[in-house]
A and B are shown apart, each in its own frame.
Chain A
């Protein structure tokens, strides 16, 4: 007889201890109690009467949120003493250390968690412009090289331009999070520089409903992002024809990404 263990997660109430405003688009909510999740794992955040959405955790007790739609607008209105419900830890996170990390836009969120845990040696971090960057906090824990599309801060151009053979040769493991096309460029460049694809970890995102592997809506070429990911190694991602191409909409219909 085998052992059959199957437990779902009950959500728990978390009270906000403080809010850090990084820029007009991004805030970090710090909670009174800490999470169980490791870097790269995620949480389903429920605001009663508003909805529920998946978020990466940015540390053992915080979530960094980018304003995107109705849910995050409501989230942005919350402050000290307000509460949300959180289901965590969900999914599989990053599982190596001493990374060269590459982040684009709001893809910085799970990378912040890695930085907090001291697992990132160098961070390449790009965004649209200076106003979309989180500045003056990550530098305390790691070396950060910035890039902006419009040149308003750091290197003028794409964050993937900062990936050089010289830099890559110093590292064994690589963590990437950002828009899918950016992740593909970055990972392909690393492979070109001789990095084995299994040493590159990517954090993927898909529309989610249950967040616990039941409904299947977040599947990418058959892998359920909520339980098989969100962090996948690049050799696994290379077996997913839907990567950078398709996602499922709320109805389950496959749509172009």
Chain B
């Protein structure tokens, strides 16, 4: 396993904040993360779903962005102009294993690791989901040939994640638990139309944290000795990071909680890890690695 050495071990979740200029601005304001992840890059320019792309029902957030993406050429232009100091992890999606492999090869020099999105539950109505089109093992095998940097596979708690992980465990260094939970539907009662233009949407935020925590725990029990685990889903307080670490995660991504203005977002990303370290000190733990997957007794 190739270890992803970043400090602090927190990142934005892919699809949140999305653009290099946003990352640069947050850095100027003092945000402190181990890496930034730009919006997933696909093989060609794509618009994604029409608005509304998000729906918050008071308890859970749904989104149906469906992977809007600029073209790889435009993306590379922005990468060349990136002035931030924080390293990048690049997220890829594609329609064929070759799409992924080419994208990984092309952008290898701009990043410290690759995240392979094989689980986005959202797609434009009429299309197929990524997993309906692709064999995960084939994708990751092709990707592995193109890079010596850490490879992260992002799975969703609503996939058969243990089954998929078994097929890909030899080709990846990390598994990200996980993508949004697939897929919810809410109907506007008076018109009979869905609240989302894409009809169905992936669930995220605080409400799904118990489910991703379970996914982290399952993954750690099955593969914890071979790969690292990234926890993504509903982290909005330092406590959530400690809990995820106890379940087995060593890296953490923050998504829905970053929906505030830049000053607040930067404050949040500057302080959340400091607060984690304070808590660790208070419970006599020197480093988070000491509690990863070992302190949970059920």
Contacts and interface: CB of A to CB of B under 8 A. Distances in A.
B45 A253 contact: yes
Contacts, number: 142
Q: Interface extent on B, as a size class?
A: 35 or more
Interface string A42-59: 001010110111000000
Interface stretch (A138-146, A175-183, A213-221): A213-221
A252 B257 contact: no
Given A209-B51, A216-B39, A222-B21, A251 B16 contact: no
B197 interface: yes
B16 A216 contact: yes
B contact face: mostly helix, strand, loop, or mixed: loop
B139 interface: no
A49 B191 contact: yes
Contact of B256 (A1, A83, A214): A214
A219 B17 CA distance: 9
Contacts of B19: 216-217, 219, 222, 248, 252
A219 B20 CA distance: 10
Interface residues of A, number: 44
Contacts of B237: 4
Nearest to A83: B190
A222 B36 CA distance: 14
B86 interface: no
Given A4-B237, A52-B51, A212-B54, A251 B70 contact: yes
Nearest to A10: B58
Interface string A203-233: 0000011111111110101111001100000
Contacts of A227: 259-262
Given A51-B50, A222-B19, 20 more contacts: A1-B278, A2-B271, A8-B56, A8-B205, A8-B259, A46-B195, A48-B193, A49-B191, A49-B193, A52-B52, A209-B54, A210-B53, A213-B258, A214-B54, A216-B19, A224-B262, A227-B259, A228-B262, A251-B68, A253-B74
18 contacts: A1-B275, A4-B237, A4-B268, A8-B56, A8-B205, A49-B191, A51-B51, A52-B197, A213-B259, A214-B256, A215-B16, A222-B21, A224-B261, A224-B262, A249-B47, A251-B45, A252-B39, A253-B45
